[in-house]
Amino acid sequence: MPTSAEPVHKGTLVCVVLKARNLPNKKSIGKQDPYTVLTMGHESQKTKPDKRGGQHPSWDEQLHFEVYEDMEDALVKDAANGSGSASKATSASALKTKGGKKVLKVACYADDSKEPEFIGEGIVDLTDTLKTGEYDEWVTIKAKDRYAGEVYLELTFYSAAAPPKKRRPSTQPAVLSATDSYGGAGSFSRIEDGGNAASTGSGSGAPPKPPKGKDASA
């Protein structure tokens, strides 16, 4: 069981960087070699450059990020559990190394032998993705507040929490009440109904007897 000094592992975020469109060309001659860098918290990962991908590169690469409980979540949980200020400070300092905000930074660069050239960047809010588990959209990137193209991302969050247990269907047979009587396969009848049927003779199947008297002999 993790201590208060260790951030809680919430799950894994799988990011598929598919492609980009409408990127400005940073090369005066020929086509640029773009690549994408994803950053969450203090961790960054990047795709391979798409050689001569130009303004509409394609990568189709998968990057993985381990998601930890961020500082805000930890402090809220500690407050709910009645933890002291000392434990809160310990959690906050530890979470600075592994935790991070619930956002994903998306940046594009044009690869270069000397120094990569910045194309643009954008932000994805992961709040809903960490709840629903899915994100599939174009992300707009900008450079100096000006449109610099779009990157297509597919995000899937796999939670580390155990799935809820399924309820098993009841296997107990139906119990008849005190006023019910078994009437054969697939049916039952009330006891009082059976008593009335017996008294009138309607359930015996025999024809009714004629009344006694003079009229009977005639």
Give CA–CA dist 151/154, Å, rounded.
10
pLDDT value of residue 53: 95
Give CA–CA dist 126/101, Å, rounded.
9
Give CA–CA dist 210/157, Å, rounded.
85
pLDDT value of residue 72: 55
- Is residue 7 within 8 Å of residue 42, measured between CB atoms? no
Mean pLDDT by 10 residues, the chain (218 residues): 69 97 92 96 95 96 90 56 46 43 92 94 95 96 97 96 67 60 56 50 54 54
Indicate the fold that domain 9-159 takes in CATH.
Answer: Immunoglobulin-like (2.60.40)
pLDDT value of residue 80: 57
Angle formed by the axes of helices 71-81 and 85-98, nearest 10°: 160
DSSP state letter for 202: T
End-to-end CA distance of the chain: 100
pLDDT value of residue 145: 95
- Is residue 86 within 8 Å of residue 35, measured between CB atoms? no
DSSP letters, 128-197, are: THHHHSEEEEEEEEEETTEEEEEEEEEEEEEE-SPPPPPPPPP-PPPPP-TTEEE-STT-EEEHHHHHHH
- Is residue 14 within 8 Å of residue 156, measured between CB atoms? yes
Q: What are the residue ranges spanned by the domains of the chain?
A: 9-159, 175-203
Nearest to 86 by CA among 97, 100, 75: 75
Whether pTM exceeds 0.95: no
Q: Which residues pair with 21 in a beta bridge?
A: 150
pLDDT value of residue 6: 74
Residues 6+ apart with CB under 8 A from 82: none
